[in-house]
């Protein structure tokens, strides 16, 4: 007698029900995944780190690279002010670039010239992205208590409202 037919009908029904429930699980929530990856790197979610995450995800798609690729180089240009430097952490959370892998670095720039360059080392193709002017105006100098809600908003905005491609 096979193992399946040796089972009692009530136990077989339970196994079938559990299997069906497992198949009906909701698809992963991309926003929840982004929030978790941002929190692992940055400790919290705010609009600037969320923008960096969006930029990093976009760059990986455009450059055809997977997260964690050693072929990716990320150079973040920003003043040494927390809101602007947060973008680098968001890019790191999305791409897996890091100081330790020597594929993430920051260079000094004025607030008006904040930008992040993503380069595929293997192909030499690069892409430079900057926070959208509207993003900067909307989320500059928020009180700490409003940061996470604002970060979650940034994760849902259309790309054009978050960043722009710099020629």
Residue in 56, 64, 53, 51 with CA at minimum distance from that of residue 120: 64
Range of the domain at 62: 30-166
In-domain check, residue 117: yes
Summarize pLDDT for 110-165 with one digit per residue, the tens.
999 999 999 999 999 999 999 999 998 898 888 999 999 999 999 999 999 999 99
**CATH code (residue 95):** 3.30.1330.130
In-domain check, residue 22: no
Domain count, the chain: 1
CA distance 103 to 158: 28
Residue 43, pLDDT above cutoff 90: yes
In-domain check, residue 17: no
Q: Is 117 exposed, middle or buried (0-12, 13-18, 19+ CB in 10 A)?
A: middle
CA distance 92 to 56: 7
In-domain check, residue 137: yes
Summarize pLDDT for 23-42 with one digit per residue, the tens.
455 566 778 999 999 999 99
In-domain check, residue 24: no
Q: Extract the tokens encoding 25.
A: 């699980």
In-domain check, residue 44: yes
Residues 86-114 have a mean pLDDT of: 96
Contacts of 58 (CB under 8 A, 6+ apart): 129, 159, 163
In-domain check, residue 136: yes
Summarize pLDDT for 3-19 with one digit per residue, the tens.
555 555 555 555 555 55
In-domain check, residue 108: yes
């Amino acid at each position: 007698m096979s193992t399946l037919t040796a089972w009692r009908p009530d136990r077989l029904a339970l196994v079938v029900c559990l299997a069906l429930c497992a198949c009906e699980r909701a698809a992963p929530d991309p926003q929840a995944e982004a929030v978790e990856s941002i929190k692992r790197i940055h400790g919290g979610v705010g609009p600037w780190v969320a923008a960096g995450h969006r930029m990093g995800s976009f760059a990986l798609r455009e450059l055809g690279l997977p997260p964690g690729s050693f072929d990716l180089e990320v150079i973040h240009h920003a003043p040494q002010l927390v809101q602007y430097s947060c973008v680098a952490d968001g890019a790191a959370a999305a791409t897996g670039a890091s100081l330790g892998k020597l594929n993430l670095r920051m260079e000094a720039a004025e607030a008006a010239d904040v930008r992040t360059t993503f380069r595929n080392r293997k192909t030499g193709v690069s892409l430079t992205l900057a926070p959208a002017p509207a993003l900067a105006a909307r989320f500059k100098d928020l009180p700490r208590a409003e940061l996470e809600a604002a970060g979650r908003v940034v994760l849902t905005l259309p790309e054009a409202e978050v960043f722009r491609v710099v020629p």
